[in-house]
């Protein structure tokens, strides 16, 4: 999110962050639902182009994960991810009113994953639209609620068959909290238990 959500210009337009996240969901491959979990780490670099518009590029790694196919557990091997996102501050916050921040992101993740003893490439593409509603308190604390809808293909190989699937849950929602050292550092956490389940935490440096 911008340094200021009330439309005030900031001299610190660049931001770099590191974060860790976990996700749990299901992919439907030709009618077969495959639960999976992933733990990832990522780094990003972004710039606030205007008081409303921001652009961020991210790269990350899958450090752990699991799958379940027809009652048989499998694991993810290390993999990589990347994304490009735009944010737009649709409504500036006022003294008593919250801000509304929209987002659009395109991402991809690839890793080798195990299905019934065989390890094959898992590749997922993803487009997400999101809305965040929040309020800055005492110039330091930013509680917010967030919702996202998303979709994209996932390709894999199960039992000698190449399969393509998509998310069973194409939405997610929850809440988060950011604590700011004004104009320098943000510490943030987010928990989304509805739909696709995920949690993340990280730190963002402004410069």
CATH of the domain at 86: 2.40.128.100
Asked whether residue 5 is assigned to any structural domain, the reply reads no
Average pLDDT over residues 85-97: 95
Number of domains in the chain: 1
| pTM for this prediction | 0.91
Closest C-alpha among 29, 70, 21 to residue 153: 29
The mean pLDDT value of the chain amounts to: 94
Q: Which pLDDT score, from 0 to 100, does residue 63 have? A: 95
Q: For residue 199, what are the CA distances in angstroms to 23, 40, 44, 157?
A: 7, 11, 17, 28
Q: Which domain holds residue 192?
A: 14-206
8: number of Cβ within 10 Å? 10
Does pLDDT of 128 surpass 80?
yes
In a domain, 174, yes or no: yes
Residue 135 lies in a domain: yes
Q: What is the mean pLDDT of residues 40-63?
A: 96
1 confidence band (pLDDT: 50, 70, 90): confident
pLDDT at 10: 66
Q: Are strands 99-115 and 72-91 parallel, antiparallel or unpaired?
A: antiparallel
Question: Does any domain span residue 2?
Answer: no
Whether 197 is in a domain gets the answer: yes
The most confident of 101-105, 113-117, 135-139, 156-160, by mean pLDDT: 101-105
Asked if the structure places residue 9 within a domain, the reply is no
């Amino acid at each position: 999110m911008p340094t200021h959500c009330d439309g005030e210009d900031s001299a610190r337009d660049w931001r770099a962050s590191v974060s860790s996240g976990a996700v749990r969901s299901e992919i439907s491959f030709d009618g077969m639902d495959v639960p999976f979990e992933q733990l990832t780490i990522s780094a990003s670099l972004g710039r606030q182009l205007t008081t409303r518009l921001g652009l961020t590029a991210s790269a990350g790694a899958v450090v752990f994960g699991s799958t379940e196919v027809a009652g048989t557990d499998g694991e993810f091997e290390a993999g990589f991810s990347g994304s490009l996102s735009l944010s737009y501050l649709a409504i500036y916050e006022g003294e008593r009113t919250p801000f509304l921040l929209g987002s659009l992101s395109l991402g991809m993740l690839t890793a080798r994953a195990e299905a019934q003893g065989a390890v094959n490439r898992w590749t997922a593409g993803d487009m997400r639209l999101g809305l965040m509603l929040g309020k800055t308190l005492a110039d330091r604390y930013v509680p917010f609620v967030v919702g996202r809808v998303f979709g994209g293909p996932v390709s894999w190989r199960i039992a000698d068959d190449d399969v393509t699937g998509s998310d069973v849950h194409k939405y997610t929602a929850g809440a988060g909290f950011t604590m700011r050292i004004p104009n320098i550092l943000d510490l943030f956490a987010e928990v989304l238990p509805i739909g696709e389940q995920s949690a993340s935490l990280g730190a963002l440096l402004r410069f």
